[in-house]
Amino acid sequence: MKLTSSQIRIGVAAVVILGTIGYLAVSGAEATKSYYVTVAEMQAMGDKAYHSNLRVEGYVKPASIASSGAKVSFVLTEFESHNPKATPQARAIRVEYQGSEPPPDTFKGDAQALAVGTWGRDGVFHATQLQAKCASKYAPAAPGQQAQPAAMGDKRAAVETPSPIAR
């Protein structure tokens, strides 16, 4: 069977299109890949830290938060400041967050935080996403105690039993 010139052109075009789609899929996956690390692990990465997208986890140092709209600067440490096992040698990094949204309401001193971004050669972590969690808010009830309803007007906690309809 002999291929015509139009069949060859269609075959070449299909190979080029499929090759382009494959290249874009692989390069897109590489560009969005990020490493989940602690402050110490990031600092130990060396030059690789400057060329990688990172997710750095730690605790927000109290009284280090300076904000201006959606831009926030703070110090991220490996430990909670009230942790009795905390050492003065604990590692810390300065984080500058510049995102499209302001930081979450749970973002405050001693909160566990996750900053997504890149480590700069200036010694500052430049975050584009910021997540925070207040551990005490999500703690389970102590043994022998009943869980308390959610605070701040959670409508699910204040559901009333409907009264019977009079006939």
Whether the pLDDT of residue 17 is over 70: the answer is yes
Given pLDDT bands bounded at 50, 70 and 90, which one contains residue 78?
confident
Higher per-residue confidence, 153 vs 42: 42
At 106-159, the pLDDT tens digits run: 888 888 888 999 989 898 999 998 888 765 555 555 666 655 544 444 434 344
Residue with tokens 């551990």: 135
Cβ-in-10-Å burial (0-12, 13-18, 19+) of 124 comes to middle
CB 65 within 8 A of CB 92: no
Cβ-in-10-Å burial (0-12, 13-18, 19+) of 90 comes to middle
What is the per-residue pLDDT for 40?
A: 84
Give the amino acid at 102: P
Average pLDDT, the chain: 77
Given pLDDT bands bounded at 50, 70 and 90, which one contains residue 162?
very low
Given pLDDT bands bounded at 50, 70 and 90, which one contains residue 47?
confident
What is the per-residue pLDDT for 86?
A: 56
Mean pLDDT, rounded, for 10-37: 86
What is the per-residue pLDDT for 165?
A: 55
CB 55 within 8 A of CB 114: yes
Residue 38: DSSP 8-state: E
pLDDT above 90 coverage of the chain, percent = 18
3-state secondary structure of 15: helix
Higher per-residue confidence, 61 vs 167: 61
Residue with tokens 């997540």: 131
Strands 112-119 and 53-60: antiparallel
Which pair of structure tokens corresponds to residue 139? Answer: 């703690």
Give bridge partners of residue 119 from the DSSP assignment. Answer: 125
CA-wise closest residue to 76 among 120, 40, 128 = 40
pLDDT above 70 coverage of the chain, percent = 70
3-state secondary structure of 94: strand
CB 67 within 8 A of CB 99: no
Q: How far apart are CA 74 and CA 65, in angstroms?
A: 4
Mean pLDDT, rounded, for 16-25: 93
